[in-house]
């Protein structure tokens, strides 16, 4: 489904001021040397703002398949979800936190025969040498569903072919997975009183006040073969980039949310993924959004990113024919209040939410299992699907 769903409230004339501002900003630069990028980004932004209503991430569907039997949130169906590879956390109350009813999450393997579903993370499979030790015992209880969980990119998923034909559902960042769980998403501020996640969402600030830093990048895993490293080496020939993390020369501030704290000091942040695959958009992007920087992204296509953010909210490296032209554009934006505001004004209407792995991911998986109660399908082409 399309992640952006448009609602048209009665009598709503939303974003008229933004539309006028955007047209004004575009008129300032339409004859500049960067005309090409605005034909792609700026005009797309105008189209986004001209939508007759409010665009928001679709929050209601957690499963991409129709339920096998009608299931409502107020029925008596109870689901026990077992997390097979468990890291000790506090118990999660799915109803209190996310208004998901009828779900119990456990790590107690003695409950295996009673569990309606078992979640297994592929990265845990990869760290266990004995294949037999990676999986629950066979034969599995009747109608029990095994869920393949993974948030790594295909580049970093090994030996997937060994697990063909055993799983019933996929839990993944990909939009076409059975249980779709993005790493982050936007919530329109007008809906904050209507979604349980609102209490944990971060309201965005559209301020374009000056920032002391220009471009920042956090990188902990450095391999010269990676596209993000090659691109950085070319880009640093044209502009100054402050590099943080294990592979950098600068030190992150201490305390919680150290990356976001650092990003708040910079105008741009390089949200470079370690590999380029469909829907593989990680916390790197959402850290930039929370920190109020303009993300410069390297990952899947621009169209893919536009399912997560308005088109003017980020700068894609593919928008420019050369690295030098990207560098020149960043320099131009840095010195132009109008261009900075063009990239940031959308933020005043949104909050950002990043789900908790232990809490929302498992509760959402449990809800999907409730919707499929009594239905068993076996995934026979897991490798071909995930590598596509």
The mean-pLDDT minimum among 68-72, 110-114, 164-168 falls in: 68-72
Does 143 fall in a domain?
yes
Are 174 and 264 members of one domain? Answer: no
The partner residues of 298 in beta bridges, in order of sequence, read 272
Does 66 fall in a domain?
no
What is the C-alpha to C-alpha distance for residues 253 and 365, in angstroms, rounded to an integer?
Answer: 35
Write out the residue range of the structural domain in which residue 375 sits: 79-181+355-387
Question: The CATH number of the domain where 52 resides is what?
Answer: 3.40.50
Does 69 fall in a domain?
no
Are 167 and 189 members of one domain? Answer: no
Number of structural domains the chain divides into:
2
> Are the C-beta atoms of 335 and 328 separated by less than 8 Å?
no
Are 9 and 134 members of one domain? Answer: no
Percent with pLDDT over 90 in the chain: 58
Give the β-pairing of 315-316 and 294-298.
parallel
* pLDDT score recorded for residue 146: 95
Are 203 and 320 members of one domain? Answer: yes
Does 63 fall in a domain?
no
Are 207 and 343 members of one domain? Answer: yes
Which residue in this structure is represented by tokens 């880009």?
235
Q: How confident is the model at residue 127 (pLDDT cuts 50, 70, 90)?
A: low
Q: Choosing from 66, 96, 152, 164, which is the catalytic residue?
A: 152
The mean-pLDDT minimum among 12-16, 238-242, 280-284, 317-321 falls in: 12-16
Q: Which of 143, 166, 170 is nearest to 374 (CA)?
A: 143
Does 254 fall in a domain?
yes
155 has pLDDT over 70 = yes
Token pair belonging to 323: 């690295």
Please state whether the peptide bond connecting residue 139 to the residue before it is cis, i.e. omega within 30 degrees of 0. yes
Are 91 and 134 members of one domain? Answer: yes
Mean local confidence (pLDDT), 194-199: 84
Are 20 and 94 members of one domain? Answer: no
Percent with pLDDT over 70 in the chain: 76
What's phi and psi for 253, nearest 5 deg?
-65, 155
CA 348 to chain centroid, in Å, comes to: 20
Are 326 and 270 members of one domain? Answer: yes
Residue scoring higher pLDDT (12 or 284): 284
56 has pLDDT over 70 = no
Is 152 among the residues known to form the active site? Answer: yes
Greatest C-alpha distance within the chain: 69
Q: How many degrees, rounded to 5, is the angle at CA 196 between CA 190 and CA 201? A: 65
What's phi and psi for 211, nearest 5 deg?
-125, 145
């Amino acid at each position: 489904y399309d992640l952006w769903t448009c609602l048209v409230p009665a009598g709503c004339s939303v974003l008229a001021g933004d539309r006028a501002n955007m047209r004004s900003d575009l008129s300032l630069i339409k004859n500049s040397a960067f005309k090409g990028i605005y034909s792609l980004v700026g005009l797309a932004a105008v189209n986004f703002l001209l939508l007759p209503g409010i665009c928001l991430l679709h929050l209601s569907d957690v499963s991409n398949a129709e339920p096998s039997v009608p299931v409502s949130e107020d029925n008596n169906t109870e689901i026990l979800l077992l997390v097979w590879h468990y890291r000790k956390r506090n118990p999660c109350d799915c109803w209190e936190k996310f208004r998901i009813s009828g779900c119990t999450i456990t790590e107690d393997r003695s409950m295996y025969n009673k569990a309606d579903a078992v979640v297994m993370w592929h990265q845990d499979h990869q760290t266990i040498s004995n294949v037999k030790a990676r999986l629950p015992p066979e034969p599995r209880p009747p109608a029990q569903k095994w869920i393949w969980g993974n948030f790594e990119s295909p580049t970093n998923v090994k030996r997937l072919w060994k697990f063909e034909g055993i799983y019933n559902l996929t839990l993944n960042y990909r939009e076409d997975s059975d249980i779709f769980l993005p790493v982050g998403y936007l919530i329109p501020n007008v809906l904050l009183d209507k979604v349980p996640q609102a209490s944990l969402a971060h309201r965005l600030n559209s301020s374009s006040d000056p920032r002391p830093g220009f471009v920042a990048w956090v990188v902990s895993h450095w391999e010269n073969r990676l596209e993000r490293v090659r691109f950085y080496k070319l880009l640093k020939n044209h502009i100054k980039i402050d590099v943080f993390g294990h592979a950098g020369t600068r030190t992150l501030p201490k305390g919680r949310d150290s990356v976001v704290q650092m990003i708040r000091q910079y105008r741009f942040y390089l949200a470079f993924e370690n590999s380029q695959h469909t829907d593989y958009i990680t916390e790197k992007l959402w850290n930039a959004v929370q920190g109020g920087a303009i993300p410069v992204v390297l990952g899947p296509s621009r169209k893919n990113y536009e399912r997560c953010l308005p088109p003017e909210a980020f700068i894609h490296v593919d928008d420019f024919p050369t690295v030098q032209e990207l560098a020149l554009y960043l320099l131009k934006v840095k010195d132009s209040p109008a261009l900075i505001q063009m990239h940031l004004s959308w933020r005043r209407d949104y909050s950002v939410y990043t789900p908790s792995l232990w809490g929302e991911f498992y509760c959402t998986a449990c809800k999907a299992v409730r919707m499929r109660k009594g239905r068993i399908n076996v995934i026979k082409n897991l490798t071909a699907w995930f590598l596509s």
